[in-house]
């Protein structure tokens, strides 16, 4: 059943690619069906054996119920992080984190809804000034001021528009996932950055970005990098906009927050193991 689930995930990725090339909605529907079939098959396997771990089985390991359940969802999470790394209009980790969360809110149509608490949860130094910079450079459009956005409440949310994410007539936009996938990815990212122990440690935006990155760059057991061999510093600093010399402090914060263990930072790689408590938030790299 684990093999069947893997095949269904491969089928989903194939149909998604095919749909991107042909712009056929029926193919995207087939991709979603394959995703659902893969998730159902994995759930059946877990119920029978209690040993499923990400995209593979481990007869000696504990079951891990992940927030994002199948490989296509994990690939989508990585695609959003990569897109934001290439398209954030302002420098620094705070801008990168805010752009990431706004992108996830507006990823499907270029529009979304936001309230002040959404921004407060990010722990930004000066969220109003940062929002004003994003509107000032044209990356973000609001019907009100940044101050009014920060004051908005769930019963009176603020609509936002990210023009670069609005699909053109002949283009499906930068992402291939549908409208049902968007809130799943947004919820996953929100769970990572608002992790209780990260908040208690008053983790910086850079630390939270690193937590998100490591969650998408580990194997099924939580070892960092492909096959657990570590992540290159070039890859890390591409996704987390800090200089290599600042990484040790971020790694220390994640270790203190019970996010990372056995971490070792060299001139070229970061190796280590994500802790068991955060494995449900991971998006494993599959061989």
Alpha-carbon dihedral 95, 100, 102, 108, rounded to 10 degrees: 150
The yes-or-no verdict on residue 54 having pLDDT over 60 is: no
Residue 4 pLDDT: 85
The yes-or-no verdict on residue 51 having pLDDT over 60 is: no
Cβ neighbours of 283 (radius 10 Å) = 26
**159 shares its domain with 58:** no
One DSSP character per residue, 97-139 reads HHHHHHHHHHTTTSEEEE-HHHHHTTT-S-HHHHHHHHHHTTS
Please give the mean pLDDT across all residues of the chain: 87
Overall domain count for the chain = 3
**90 shares its domain with 146:** yes
Q: What are the Cα distances from residue 234, in Å, to 40, 57, 211?
A: 37, 31, 16
**Tens of pLDDT along 237-283?**
999 999 989 999 999 999 999 999 999 999 999 999 999 999 999 99
Sign of the alpha-carbon dihedral angle for 248, 253, 259, 262: positive
Tell me which of 65, 82, 106 is where a domain ends: 65
Tell me which of 138, 162, 188 is where a domain ends: 188
Q: Residue 4 phi/psi, 5° resolution? A: -60, -40
Residue 232 pLDDT: 94
pTM: 0.78
**29 shares its domain with 97:** no
Residue 268 pLDDT: 93
State the residue range of the domain holding 272: 194-281
pLDDT band at 25 (very low <50, low <70, confident <90, very high): confident
The owner of tokens 């093999």 is: 3
Our separate counts of H helices and E strands in the chain read: 12, 7
Give the domain CATH number at 214. 1.10.10.10
**Tens of pLDDT along 82-139?**
999 999 999 999 999 999 999 999 998 899 999 998 898 888 999 999 999 999 999 9
**202 shares its domain with 180:** no
**86 shares its domain with 181:** yes
**121 shares its domain with 156:** yes
Cα-Cα end-to-end distance for the chain: 18
Sign of the alpha-carbon dihedral angle for 239, 245, 251, 252: negative
């Amino acid at each position: 059943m684990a093999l069947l689930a893997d095949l269904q995930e491969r089928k989903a990725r194939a149909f998604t690619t095919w749909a991107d090339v042909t712009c056929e909605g029926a193919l995207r529907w087939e991709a979603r069906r394959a995703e659902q079939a893969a998730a159902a098959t994995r759930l059946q396997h877990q119920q029978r054996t209690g040993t499923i771990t990400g995209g593979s089985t481990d007869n000696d390991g504990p079951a891990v119920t992940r927030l994002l359940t199948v490989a296509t969802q994990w690939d989508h999470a990585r695609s959003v992080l990569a897109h934001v790394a290439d398209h954030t209009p302002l420098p620094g980790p705070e801008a990168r984190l805010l752009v990431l969360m706004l992108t996830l809110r507006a990823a499907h149509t270029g529009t979304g809804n936001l309230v002040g608490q959404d921004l407060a949860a990010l722990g930004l130094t000066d969220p109003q000034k940062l929002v004003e910079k994003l509107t000032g450079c044209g990356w973000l459009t609001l019907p009100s001021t940044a101050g009014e956005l920060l004051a908005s409440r769930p019963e009176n949310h603020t609509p936002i528009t990210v023009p670069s994410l609005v699909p053109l007539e002949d283009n499906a936009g930068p992402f291939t996932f549908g409208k049902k996938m968007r809130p799943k990815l947004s919820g996953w990212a929100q769970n990572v950055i608002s992790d209780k122990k990260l908040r208690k440690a008053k983790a910086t935006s850079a630390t939270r970005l690193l937590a998100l990155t490591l969650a998408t760059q580990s194997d099924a057991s939580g070892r960092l990098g492909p096959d657990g061999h570590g992540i290159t510093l070039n890859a890390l600093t591409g996704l987390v906009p800090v200089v290599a010399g600042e990484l040790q402090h971020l790694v220390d914060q994640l270790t203190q927050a019970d996010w990372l263990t056995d971490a070792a930072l060299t001139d070229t790689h970061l190796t280590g193991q994500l802790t068991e408590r955060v494995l449900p938030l991971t998006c494993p790299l599959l061989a």
